[in-house]
Structure 1
Amino acid sequence: MSVEDIFHQYLESKIFKQREKLLPDYVPEELPHRDEQIMTLAKVLAPALSGSRPSNVFIYGLTGTGKTAVTKYVLRKMRESSQRRIDYVYINCRQNNTSYRVLAELAKHVGVKVPFTGLALGEVMKRLIQGLERQRSIIIVVLDEIDNLVKRQGDDVLYFLTRVNEELSNSKVSLIGITNDLKFTEFLDARVKSSLGEEELVFPPYNAVQLEDILQRRAREALKEGAIEDDVIKKVAAIAARQNGDCRLALDILLKAADIADREGASKVTLTHVDKARSEIEKNLAVDIIKTMPLHVKLVLASIYLLSKNEGSKMITTGLVYDKYKELVNKLGMEPVTSRRISDIINELDVVGIINARVISLGRYGRTKVVSIGVPLKNVEEGLASDTLLKFFLESM
């Protein structure tokens, strides 16, 4: 098959009508099963329509519960309804995970040129204030996955943004913080917590019936009529419902299954395509999770990985993990965290399925926890190797 044949096959797809309607950043005209959250957020932001600064909003919820989609949907509707100067900027703090990059993105949005690196943070803040003043508008700043920024850089930027209105005369700034981490506020200074959390909104997980309805709606928009077997959507919804009602995962699986069917030249998306899609996505999820872990969590996982490779069939206990971890930390010239924190990290890795941890009895010697890698070793290696320091360890040990 030639490149031209591949392109022709795509243009003559038997599966897709509008593929982009299954992409994660697509916000449909209707968001079913989120009426309560839409109305609550709309009421909080409504004062902007009369020129008043809305309260800051903190939005919690597990991954794939519609937080980002609802936020973008309400802001879009508000901008369409308003005769005033209301603007919003969306910043993903996983992609822009330093204080400098968040402020630079915001500065760019208000027409201020900031170099990629090189300026002191105070100078960026000064330029940003000048740019905000020139806007003469209400600006709503959406910081998605805000926990990635704070855990990495602290809450200085949040403190600045929650206090910036004291420096402004012509413009007003409101914040919407979005997080998947329900314990995130533990990392915040009390002053930042009270300012950011003026209003709080919690998004519950979707259930299987709701997921099925959402997928049916998206499939009607994205796929050609008759291009999907009857049981496919029910199965995808059931898979995502078991994963904490993750709608993003459901859409990812459906899109991947449709892509696989399309590449095979099939006329329908089948259950076999769903199984293939699920396998691919689970592999990619493990790698992505590892890439975004904090350094000490990566070091604990690297310790388990190295012990798994070098110890063979020997039981890997938490004691062995802690010893290996301290060895790695010492080579980096860092201070190790406590053994209790290592135990917490092992539990966290177990919860997300990266490792398996179980308590076993040693008879009169008591009980101990043994761990093993819960995903393919090559996935762990790929995830850890994205960190330059750990890549060196993996290659040298």
Structure 2
Amino acid sequence: MVSDIIDEIIESRLKKKSKIFMNKEILHPDYIPETLPHREKEIRKLAEILVVALKGERPSNVLIYGLTGTGKTAVAKYVTKRLAEKAPTLNARLLHAYVNTRKVDTTYRVIASIASSLGLRIPSTGIAISEVYRRYIKALENWGGLHIVVLDEIDYYVKREGDDLLYKLVRINEELEKARVAIIGITNDINFVENLDPRVRSSLGEEEIVFPPYDAEQLYDILKQRADKAFYPGVVSSRIISYCAALAAREHGDARRALDLLRVAGEIAEREGANVVTIEHVKKAQIELEEGRIYQAASTLPLHPKLVLKAIIELMKEKGTSTTGEVYNKYFKIALEYGIEPLTQRRISEIITQLDMIGLINAVVVSRGRHGKTKLIKINSELLDIIEGAIKL
């Protein structure tokens, strides 16, 4: 019976003390340690830009670039938190807000989240965005300090909602007399600013910081620092940490990926009743994470990329691989069936390239002799069911 299964899991997992983890939270990417190895240069640069806030001056807006897992968010949170902690000792008024605009995914929710960091209570729905913004302005003036606003994954927000809110935020100081606002934007997309309104582009990117990927040795140091506090002594060897670091270094030096690998490997070891984490546990973790990453990537796609994936899946089942033209024809038909106006073939070709870049499909350019070149498109058979389950419309 289901209840017996649940009781068994509770008995085996919750009532027994872990032999693996002392503090698993330390391995989550959201955890900010007391020191950030190999990001001293970036911490110093951001702190030097923002430190004038402790004198009551508005610092420059900052745009932070870098691939996923290169420490951008951790550094931004670390520096703003430390400055806010120092502010009272220097008689400075400084508060900070952090919003992941991929998770807080509407303009209303973004501005409400920013305003709430000043203590404002904004209802989840029911008032106009302009009214939320007006209340934020009023709260700033009543408070009279400097507000640092960190907008993470800002490229996803702009693609979805446009840059109107960004325009308001980078020009907000023109509406303020007693308070000031500084913006920190964080993005994985080095070309992000090219699609912004020129007025937003120049104001948002007053200062820019680019975060390079970590190498295997740097990832080892990061993992070692966390593992020493997260696991009981002797549970994770240097060999396991090196292995996780090497795997993540192959994927653009992604520290988040390395931490997830080590954490999930530990969870698997715990579920299996092991006393130590082994290479086999890491390999199993790699499979779990890959399936989870694929599902997350597919399920959060906008509508038209999902329709393109649906077309590719149907063609896979009919004939294996397909060409760009065949995918477009199938997509066109599916879009009409759902009552959606199809995009142009050029736009669908761009979407196919994007899906290939994020690893959801394989698109290989092949020569057709005098007929020119085309792309042969397919989905890894091991991922087909995962993707199909993630894009249900």
TM-score of the superposition, structure 2-length normalised? 0.93
In the TM superposition, what is the alpha-carbon distance from 1:333 to its structure 2 partner?
Answer: 4.4
Deviations 1:273-320 (A, max 9, x none): 0001000000000111112223322222222122223x134x411101
1:381 paired to 2:373: no
Amino acid at match of 1:271: I
In the TM superposition, what is the alpha-carbon distance from 1:332 to its structure 2 partner?
Answer: 4.3
Amino acid at match of 2:348: I
Separation (CA, whole Å) in 1 of partners of 2:9 and 2:187:
45
In the TM superposition, what is the alpha-carbon distance from 1:237 to its structure 2 partner?
Answer: 0.6
Deviations 1:112-167 (A, max 9, x none): 33221232222221122112222221110111111111100100110111111111
For 1:7, the equivalent position in structure 2 comes to 14
Q: Name the Cα RMSD after superposition.
A: 1.6
Quick check: 1:151–1:187 contact (8 Å CA) kept in 2?
Answer: no
Deviations 1:315-345 (A, max 9, x none): 4111011111222333444443332222222
Gaps of 5+ in 1: 386-390, 392-397
Quick check: 2:20–2:276 contact (8 Å CA) kept in 1?
Answer: yes
Separation (CA, whole Å) in 1 of partners of 2:192 and 2:167:
15
Amino acid at match of 1:211: L
What is the 5 A alignment of 1:8-27? Answer: 8-9=15-16, 12-27=17-32
Separation (CA, whole Å) in 2 of partners of 1:382 and 1:183:
32
- The 3-state SS of whatever aligns with 2:132 is helix
1:343 paired to 2:355: no
Gaps of 5+ in 2: 1-7
Separation (CA, whole Å) in 2 of partners of 1:26 and 1:159:
31
1:93 paired to 2:94: no
Separation (CA, whole Å) in 2 of partners of 1:220 and 1:158:
41
What is the 5 A alignment of 1:188-267? Answer: 188-267=196-275
In the TM superposition, what is the alpha-carbon distance from 1:364 to its structure 2 partner?
Answer: 4.0
Amino acid at match of 1:62: L
Question: Which stretch of structure 1 is more off in the superposition, 250-259 or 328-337?
Answer: 328-337
For 2:5, the equivalent position in structure 1 comes to none
What is the 5 A alignment of 1:1-397? Answer: 1=8, 3-9=10-16, 12-83=17-88, 84-309=92-317, 311-313=318-320, 315-374=321-380, 376-385=383-392, 391=393
Separation (CA, whole Å) in 2 of partners of 1:2 and 1:256:
18
Quick check: 1:56–1:199 contact (8 Å CA) kept in 2?
Answer: yes
TM-score of the superposition, structure 1-length normalised? 0.92
Amino acid at match of 1:322: Y
For 1:394, the equivalent position in structure 2 comes to none
- The 3-state SS of whatever aligns with 1:227 is coil
Question: Which stretch of structure 1 is more off in the superposition, 29-38 or 290-299?
Answer: 290-299
CA 113–305 in structure 1, closer or farther in 2 if over 3 Å, else same: same
Quick check: 1:91–1:105 contact (8 Å CA) kept in 2?
Answer: yes
Deviations 1:15-72 (A, max 9, x none): 1112111111110011011111000000000110100011111001000000000011
In the TM superposition, what is the alpha-carbon distance from 1:7 to its structure 2 partner?
Answer: 1.5
In the TM superposition, what is the alpha-carbon distance from 1:190 to its structure 2 partner?
Answer: 0.6
Question: Which stretch of structure 1 is more off in the superposition, 288-297 or 131-140?
Answer: 288-297
Question: Which stretch of structure 1 is more off in the superposition, 194-203 or 77-86?
Answer: 77-86
| Matched length | 382
Separation (CA, whole Å) in 2 of partners of 1:184 and 1:301:
25
Amino acid at match of 2:52: P
Amino acid at match of 1:68: T
Identity of aligned residues (%): 51
Amino acid at match of 1:346: I
Quick check: 2:96–2:117 contact (8 Å CA) kept in 1?
Answer: no
Deviations 1:211-251 (A, max 9, x none): 01111111111111110133211111111011110000000
Separation (CA, whole Å) in 2 of partners of 1:61 and 1:187:
18
Quick check: 1:61–1:181 contact (8 Å CA) kept in 2?
Answer: yes
Deviations 1:346-377 (A, max 9, x none): 12212222111112333443332110013512
Separation (CA, whole Å) in 2 of partners of 1:231 and 1:319:
48
Amino acid at match of 1:351: M
Separation (CA, whole Å) in 1 of partners of 2:372 and 2:148:
56
For 1:395, the equivalent position in structure 2 comes to none
